[in-house]
Amino acid sequence: MHKLHFSIGINTSREKVWNTMLGRDTYRLWTDVFGPGSHYVGDWSKGSKMLFLGPEETGAMSGMVSRIKENRPYEYISIEHIGIVQDGKEDTTSESVKGWAGALENYTFKEVGSTTEVLVDVDTAEGEYEQMFQATWPEALQKLKQLAENA
């Protein structure tokens, strides 16, 4: 796994940034950069299962099966990706999943004066996904910044 790092300063409180990032309605807005219709099913409590989904043209859902590894409100959240959803079915055991299962996506929220610094660390395989994330994460964080500062 290769770890990617992204960050942005947002001119509002950690609480507001946290709520904007993880709120069901606002999550859809800033993650639209990764795929139109991106959303989640589940809750953010430690140990809970989360499905990160986006619609397919056929109407079947696809995305990631994950669990919340850690949740310290307004400070840190860690998501562990454990499988995929394909054609509406969860897969956490196939050989293709085993190669990257356990990949983490971590968010740290640091208060710096009146600004919140959001640090994002993402495990990914080198190659296609790495290039996609290098292009989309900065754009997604800009959308998050606009939403949180203008709400």
What's the pLDDT tens digit per position in 67-88?
999 999 999 999 999 999 988 8
CATH number for the 2-150 domain, one of 2.30.40.10, 3.30.460.80, 3.30.530.20, 2.40.30.10? 3.30.530.20
Q: What's the longest Cα–Cα distance across the chain? A: 48
Residues 74-125 pLDDT 10s: 999 999 999 999 888 999 999 888 888 899 999 999 999 999 999 999 998 7
Q: Quick one: pLDDT at residue 111?
A: 95
Euclidean distance between CA atoms 146 and 151, whole angstroms: 8
% of the chain beyond a pLDDT of 90? 74
Q: What is the pTM of this model?
A: 0.92
Relative to beta strand 39-42, strand 49-55 is antiparallel
Mapping DSSP to helix (H, G, I), strand (E, B) and coil, where does residue 97 land? Answer: helix
Residue-range domain boundaries for the chain: 2-150
pLDDT at 128 over 90: no
Q: Quick one: average pLDDT of 129-146?
A: 94
pLDDT at 127 over 80: no
| 54 — pLDDT class (breaks 50, 70, 90) | confident
Q: What is the CA radius of gyration of the chain?
A: 15
pLDDT at 55 over 80: no
